[in-house]
Structure 1
Amino acid sequence: MGRMIGRRAVLAAAGFLAGAVALGSGDALAQAKVKVAGVYTVPIEQQWVGRIHKALKEAEGRGEIEYVWAESVAATDYERVLRQYAEGGQQLIVGEAFAVERPARAVAKDYPKTAFLMGSSFGPVANNFSVFDNYIQEPAYLTGMIAGAMSKSGIIGMVGGYPIPEVNRLMNAFMDGAKEVRPDIRFMVSFIGSWFDPPKAKEAAFAMIDRGADILYAERFGVSDAAKERGKLAIGNVIDTQPQYPETVVASALWHMEPTIFRAIAAVREGKFIGEDYGQFSTMKFMGSSLAPLGTFEGKVPAEAVAKVREREEQIRAGTFTVKVNDGEPKSSM
């Protein structure tokens, strides 16, 4: 099952009243911590899952939940682990259904009193299966503007995991942002076929640098390492890795999972959890995403570009500028 922290919470709630586990027992739920389990197919160090884990740990630190998790769960084991947690009395199970949509939804159907909040490419179902995703295309667009302004060669390399909508929309938004400030910018796009393979991502990035890329879009871990070793620049995704790469990572599009997680926890506690799409809570409007501070690159990005980025950011927050959502697979332009 992978390493789990807080195993005490897997089966330790034997003293809970049966009604406290049911979604409809609002009064009982309000009296106790919500029991939450995270089921992840990759290590919690991976950036996407790491943001979910961070939000859940914050809720745990505030005394709102009892939290356990399983990481690096193989797709073939995912259904079994979901069922184990549901049988153990977890009230809310959070995870990723992208590669296991059918099994995950089957489990939810079998446990109608358990709330499921799953990353998914599809919609919610019934009254207990909600979906979410990292809709951070808005700050991704802004990082593209910065990259376009910083590139000297006019070539940007982009390394992703898989060409699925969740990745495609961010890459396409980034590309649109770069083209706004530099219409002649060119892109190299590559997918490594893995959610967590830093060495493979690094090699793909090296190949792009060899072909002229001077800025790399680091959708996967390993890309910024290649940029650092070759003296190039990188753009971060989901998390801010500038502290680890202070002379390499110029900007990052950040995902804040807290609005989504806190809302789901409150719904379970109040007995009001239903099947719905939480995607909007990852947008800038709901504080679910943001552009990381320039930090060590403050003063290094052209002032004209910074002003334009700030203007676009204000327009996005005000609702007067909309970043196009394009889920199609991004293509190289060279």
Structure 2
Amino acid sequence: MTRSFAPSRRAFLQSSLAVAALTGLGAGRARAEGEVLKVAGIYTVPVEQQWVSRIHVAAMAAKERGEIDYTYSENTANTDYPRVMREYAESGYKLIVGEIFGAEQEAREVAAEYPEVAFLMGSSFAPDAALANLSVFDNYIQDASYLSGIIAGAMTKTGNIGMVGGFPIPEVNRLMHAFMAGVKETRPDATFQVSFIGSWFDPPKAKETAYAMIEAGADLLYAERFGVSDAAKEKGVLAIGNVIDTQADYPETVVASALWNFQPTLDAAIAAVKAGAFTAADYGQYSFMKAGGCALAPHGTFEGKIPQAALDKVAAQEAAIKSGAFTVAIDDSEPKSS
């Protein structure tokens, strides 16, 4: 998908960076050896939310290793996001991580004001060379989503699968498409009910949407949002998890989950900042399976309940993905019900 920004905004960013260059600033300055990097996280939802929790867990791990000093703000409204960015930048934080899907233009303008600060932001847009201190990332875990679909296709009895997402944006769409492709590997005649709830964190609405899908014949649900697995548990159908492993919470419901490991992404950014080499880049590659950025969760209570043919297919395709012999397609278009 090709994305571009308005000329007026690009001109603003370029002029801001030009001023920064004249004053000798820049996010590429190397940190002193042994210096603990000050990192701040800015999140629009609670840190318990699936997607954000993976960033938070990775940052806490780096903090516990003594590599960074980490603090964070959660439930930050998109309209308040630029202010919080400025506050952390003014307070001496040298790496700010977060998600700017709902505040792209404003966030990039703030980043241009602080060229000495590195910004690693979840974004639907590509990095801009004119804004050298802002890199983007996304949860490119389509590899694991595809593998979870293979298992789902083998476990559904009716072939009617419900899929509940937050918003139809690339980071959701690509995982749904990969999952659907995996399902087709073991259940070619499968059909899908696809719906988006218009929120990143509204478990009751996700639950009600899932109920409707079950009423319409779905016997397996793709739980892209919190609340879906609750509906599946209550109605006695199966679910496939996304981003985090909830098998322990739903031992008789969640068959498999595609896990996102943000550690490779964050580690690469921390290393770049400390080396004075941070620049505009797309960190999405660090979420790929071959980079250790995603994996299938352990089967837990479903060990021995998944058809062996499906497990063999998963093992073969996982090996092919890691070797580069097979590539899971990245489709950012909005998925539709079938």
Cα deviations by residue, 1:119-144 (Å, 9 ceiling, x for unpaired): 00111122200000000001100111
* Aligned position for 2:249: 244
| Structure 1 segments (4+ residues) deviating >6 Å | none
The amino acid of 1:122's aligned partner reads: F
* Aligned position for 1:33: 36
Cα deviations by residue, 1:286-314 (Å, 9 ceiling, x for unpaired): 00001111121111011111111111111
**Displacement after TM superposition at 1:259 (Å):** 0.2
1:210-221 matches, cutoff 5 A: 210-221=215-226
Cα deviations by residue, 1:312-331 (Å, 9 ceiling, x for unpaired): 11111111111111111010
Helix, strand or coil for the counterpart of 1:43?
Answer: coil
Change (3 A) 1:214 1:227: same
1:1-334 matches, cutoff 5 A: 23-28=27-32, 30-125=33-128, 126-333=131-338
Cα deviations by residue, 1:93-139 (Å, 9 ceiling, x for unpaired): 00101110001100110000000000001111222000000000011
Are the counterparts in 1 of residues 39 and 96 from structure 2 also a CA contact under 8 Å? yes
**Displacement after TM superposition at 1:25 (Å):** 3.8
**Displacement after TM superposition at 1:22 (Å):** 6.2
The amino acid of 1:74's aligned partner reads: A
**Displacement after TM superposition at 1:181 (Å):** 1.1
**Displacement after TM superposition at 1:24 (Å):** 4.1
The amino acid of 2:219's aligned partner reads: D
Taking the aligned partners of 1:170 and 1:295, their CA distance within structure 2 comes to: 23
Taking the aligned partners of 2:269 and 2:227, their CA distance within structure 1 comes to: 33
The amino acid of 2:196's aligned partner reads: F
Cα deviations by residue, 1:268-293 (Å, 9 ceiling, x for unpaired): 11211111110000000100001111
Aligned positions, number: 312
Are the counterparts in 1 of residues 29 and 277 from structure 2 also a CA contact under 8 Å? no
* Aligned position for 1:13: none
The amino acid of 1:277's aligned partner reads: D
Which TM-score applies when normalising by structure 1?
0.92
Are the counterparts in 1 of residues 49 and 201 from structure 2 also a CA contact under 8 Å? yes
Helix, strand or coil for the counterpart of 1:26?
Answer: coil
The amino acid of 1:23's aligned partner reads: A
**Gap runs ≥5 in structure 1:** 1-20
The amino acid of 1:193's aligned partner reads: G
Helix, strand or coil for the counterpart of 1:307?
Answer: helix
Helix, strand or coil for the counterpart of 2:207?
Answer: helix
Cα deviations by residue, 1:238-293 (Å, 9 ceiling, x for unpaired): 00100111110000000000000011111111211111110000000100001111
Taking the aligned partners of 2:79 and 2:228, their CA distance within structure 1 comes to: 29
**Displacement after TM superposition at 1:31 (Å):** 2.8
Taking the aligned partners of 1:269 and 1:329, their CA distance within structure 2 comes to: 39
Helix, strand or coil for the counterpart of 1:69?
Answer: strand
TM-align CA RMSD: 1.1
* Aligned position for 1:3: none
Taking the aligned partners of 2:247 and 2:31, their CA distance within structure 1 comes to: 45
Taking the aligned partners of 2:328 and 2:91, their CA distance within structure 1 comes to: 43
Taking the aligned partners of 1:104 and 1:289, their CA distance within structure 2 comes to: 27
Cα deviations by residue, 1:135-158 (Å, 9 ceiling, x for unpaired): 000110011111010000110000
The amino acid of 1:66's aligned partner reads: D
Taking the aligned partners of 1:31 and 1:310, their CA distance within structure 2 comes to: 42
Taking the aligned partners of 1:162 and 1:127, their CA distance within structure 2 comes to: 29
Taking the aligned partners of 1:192 and 1:23, their CA distance within structure 2 comes to: 38
Taking the aligned partners of 2:173 and 2:60, their CA distance within structure 1 comes to: 29
Change (3 A) 1:307 1:81: same
